[in-house]
């Protein structure tokens, strides 16, 4: 794919818009294939998407994508003009669509990484041309001669959103996208690419277009309203007899054709109609619609960092040890007001970073579709809770683990239709992907109605791999199922395209735990398996309980705390190996002395003088022994310094934070402590 290097801002806009359009195209293609039909709305939607991608890719100089989009656009332009259903199968068209989408995604990934997008789309374009020829041969339902002559003149005035920038380039893109809808097309101001000062006129007066088209008013209106950053559109029909010929048509046509790349057709040189007459419908404005802007995630990260520093600064002011014992009524009132504003600002910034899981969930449709074909299995995907919102960074981290678990459910879980029917199950298997809020976390559950996990097979593989450290009969079902998360563990006898290499579920666990989450699995043989991902809503700020151990401070996330209490001597137990435990309501729990684990100096060594904090993770419980509780506080999570991580891996530490009194507190990773 040849092209030129575009300015960074224009390149970022192209990546953002094209990425969104390809995802939208993929979902539309999935619906077409599912319904085995080509409704007019879907045909128009695909035509519009390809027209936009063709124009923007051509403008950027990415001719491979532009040419491919043009070929798809030609196919759907002919489908859009037909009055009878095509005689070929929907799957043939959608297969080509999916291959084209994959090509565009690959090229877009190359652009994102800064590499040259040099993919060859010639084969796909050739097959699309063959498809177009087949459509032309079999479908003779094009417009009648009378319809072909019925050109309608329009006048459109477009206003862009304030602050969107590069209005002349956006206006040129509108002209470029109108080429296939309009037989004639002129604009005011003219020469918008050659004259950057046209930006001021477009901002003040709007961008005016005169065109002739066979498209209906509604179709043209919808096409123009799909323009990104449009805030207002005035579209009117013009009587053809009132159209004086002008020389502006040649200038505008030349403007588009000179700036457009070779991958897209040049517009014809046509005449400009007069700007007059009454609109057929009220002006469409963006006044009643919410305005949106695109912001780089790095800017949101920086904003979140600043809010975090503000949280720390607020704590340092309100918890300043110099204020202890002083009765400062006005200061206390101001401090409470500052705390309220800080909390509101934090909530707003965190809400800006929150995005629904819908986009990630919808991507799973493609995985189910492709694997159903390759594995010859019929599978239905049920999505629940797509509207659940999670921090943008968390969403990016869970995409790959979700894909791997979905592949496992399809390959290991769901049986072939013939096997399912023999066991009394429906021929079509079901995979359910569900998200729901659980306090400060989100639970994502991937459940299938397949054959489930075989405990006997898991135990046999665990014994062969030397993973059993106690008698098998002492293991609970959940402990047996946890073997699938060990590196190199696989029950698949044969290596396939999707599984059998023993690589995957351990990576899933590692990725989820890297963002403070956890993975658990439950299964019933013959009925199915459910994998649950527990992920935090956000990574930046957490609620924590501060505990003191000697002169050190440790923060325990409140989400894992069950209770805290001062132990009684008669409840303490020590086994022959020296392990310390405590009886609580008839249950025995292990104790971990934080001062021993982290080699902290303290004078509090008797249990009856300190405090126990009971924590739980993955249904495992541990009691942490500390000197005293200092209170609950919101803390900003900071990574451990790189030199600390390089020198020695310290079990059970998830980061550090700065407290209000200026002390550094280590944030405990309870999951790591339970495994230590």
Interval 226-238: pLDDT, tens: 877 888 888 888 7
Q: What is the pLDDT of residue 226?
A: 80
Is residue 410 within 8 A of residue 364, CB to CB? The reply is no
Q: What is the pLDDT of residue 497?
A: 52
Supply φ then ψ for residue 443, to 5 degrees.
-100, 125
pLDDT less than 70: residues of the chain: 1-9, 81-90, 136-150, 239-292, 294, 439-440, 491-504, 642-649, 676
Q: What is the pLDDT of residue 270?
A: 31
Architecture of domain 355-536: 2-Layer Sandwich (3.30)
Q: Which two tokens stand for residue 164?
A: 């969107």
Domain with CATH 2.40.50.180 in the chain: 541-674
Average pLDDT of the chain, as a whole number? 79
CA-to-CA dists, residue 673 to 124, 544, 627, angstroms: 54, 16, 18
Domain with CATH 3.30.565.10 in the chain: 355-536
Q: Number of H helices and number of E strands within the chain? A: 21, 23
Architecture of domain 152-238: 2-Layer Sandwich (3.30)
Q: What is the pLDDT of residue 278?
A: 34
Q: What is the pLDDT of residue 40?
A: 81
Q: What is the pLDDT of residue 612?
A: 95
Q: What is the pLDDT of residue 493?
A: 55
Domain with CATH 1.20.120.160 in the chain: 7-134
Q: What is the pLDDT of residue 531?
A: 93
Q: What is the pLDDT of residue 253?
A: 35
Q: What is the pLDDT of residue 99?
A: 92
Q: What is the pLDDT of residue 528?
A: 92
Report the percent of the chain where pLDDT is more than 90: 21
Q: What is the pLDDT of residue 633?
A: 83
Quickly name the fold that domain 541-674 has: OB fold (Dihydrolipoamide Acetyltransferase, E2P) (2.40.50)
Q: Which two tokens stand for residue 211?
A: 């065109």
Contacts of 186 (CB under 8 A, 6+ apart): 209, 210, 211, 246, 248, 249, 251, 252, 253, 270, 271, 272
pTM for the model: 0.62
Domain with CATH 3.30.70.1110 in the chain: 152-238
Q: What is the pLDDT of residue 432?
A: 95
Per residue in 117-170, pLDDT (tens digit) is: 888 888 888 888 887 777 766 654 444 444 445 678 888 999 888 877 778 888
Architecture of domain 7-134: Up-down Bundle (1.20)
């Amino acid at each position: 794919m040849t092209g030129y290097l575009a300015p960074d801002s224009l390149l970022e806009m192209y990546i953002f818009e094209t990425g969104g359009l390809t995802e939208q195209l993929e979902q539309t293609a999935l619906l077409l294939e599912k319904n085995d039909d080509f409704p007019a709305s879907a045909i128009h939607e695909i035509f519009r998407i390809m027209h936009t991608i063709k124009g923007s890719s051509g403008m950027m100089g990415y001719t491979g994508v532009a040419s491919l989009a043009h070929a798809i656009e030609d196919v759907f332009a002919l489908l859009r003009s037909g009055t009878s259903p095509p005689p070929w199968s929907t799957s043939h068209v959608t297969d080509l669509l999916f291959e084209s989408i994959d090509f565009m995604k690959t090229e877009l990934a190359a652009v994102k990484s800064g590499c040259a997008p040099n993919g060859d789309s010639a084969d796909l374009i050739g097959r699309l041309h063959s498809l177009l020829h087949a459509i032309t041969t079999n479908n003779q339902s094009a417009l009648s001669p009378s319809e072909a002559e019925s050109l309608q003149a329009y006048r459109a005035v477009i206003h862009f959103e304030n602050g969107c920038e590069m209005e002349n380039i956006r206006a040129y893109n509108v002209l470029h996208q109108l080429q296939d809808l309009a037989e004639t097309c002129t604009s005011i101001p003219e020469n918008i690419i050659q004259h950057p000062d046209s930006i001021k006129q477009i901002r003040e007066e709007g961008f005016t277009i005169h065109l002739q088209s066979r498209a209906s008013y509604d179709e043209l209106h919808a096409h123009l309203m799909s323009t990104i950053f449009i805030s207002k559109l005035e579209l009117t029909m013009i009587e053809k007899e009132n159209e004086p010929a002008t020389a502006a048509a040649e200038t505008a046509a030349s403007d588009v054709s000179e700036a457009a790349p070779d991958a897209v057709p040049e517009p014809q040189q046509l005449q400009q109609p007069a700007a007059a007459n009454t609109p057929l419908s009220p002006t469409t404005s963006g006044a009643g619609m919410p305005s949106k802007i695109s912001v780089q995630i790095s800017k949101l990260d920086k904003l979140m960092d600043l809010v975090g520093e503000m949280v720390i600064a607020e704590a340092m002011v309100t918890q300043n040890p110099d204020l202890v014992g002083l009765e400062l009524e006005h200061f206390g009132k101001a401090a409470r007001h500052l705390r309220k504003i800080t909390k509101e600002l934090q909530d707003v910034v965190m809400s800006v970073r929150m995005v629904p899981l819908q986009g990630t969930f919808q991507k799973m449709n493609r995985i189910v579709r492709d694997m159903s074909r390759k594995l010859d299995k019929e599978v239905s995907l049920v999505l629940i809770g797509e509207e659940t919102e999670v921090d943008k960074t968390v969403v990016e981290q869970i995409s790959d683990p979700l894909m791997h678990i979905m592949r496992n459910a399809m390959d290991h879980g769901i049986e072939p239709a013939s096997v399912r029917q023999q066991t009394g199950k429906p021929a079509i298997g079901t995979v359910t992907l569900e998200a729901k809020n659980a306090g400060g976390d989100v639970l994502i559950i991937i459940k299938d109605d397949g054959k489930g996990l075989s405990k006997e097979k898991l135990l046999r593989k665990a014994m062969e791999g030397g993973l059993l450290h106690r008698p098998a009969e002492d293991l609970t079902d959940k402990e047996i199922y946890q073997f699938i998360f060990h590196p190199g563990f696989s029950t698949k006898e044969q290596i396939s395209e999707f599984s059998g290499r023993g690589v995957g579920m351990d990576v899933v666990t590692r990725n989820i735990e890297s963002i403070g989450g956890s993975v658990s699995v439950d299964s019933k043989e013959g009925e199915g398996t459910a994998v649950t991902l527990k992920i935090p809503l956000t990574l930046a700020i957490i609620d924590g309980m501060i505990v003191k151990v000697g002169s050190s401070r440790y923060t325990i996330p409140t989400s894992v705390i069950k209770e805290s209490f001062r132990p009684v001597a008669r409840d303490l137990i020590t086994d022959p190996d020296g392990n310390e435990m405590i009886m609580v309501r008839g249950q025995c729990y292990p104790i971990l002395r934080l001062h021993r684990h982290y080699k902290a100096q303290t004078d509090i060594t008797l249990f009856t003088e300190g405090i126990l904090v009971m924590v739980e993770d993955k249904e495992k419980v541990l009691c942490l022994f500390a000197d005293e509780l200092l209170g609950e506080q919101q803390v900003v999570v900071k990574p451990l310094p790189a030199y600390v991580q390089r020198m020695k891996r310290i079990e059970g530490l998830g980061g550090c934070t700065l407290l209000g009194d200026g002390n550094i507190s280590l944030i405990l990773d309870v999951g790591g402590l339970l495994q230590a």
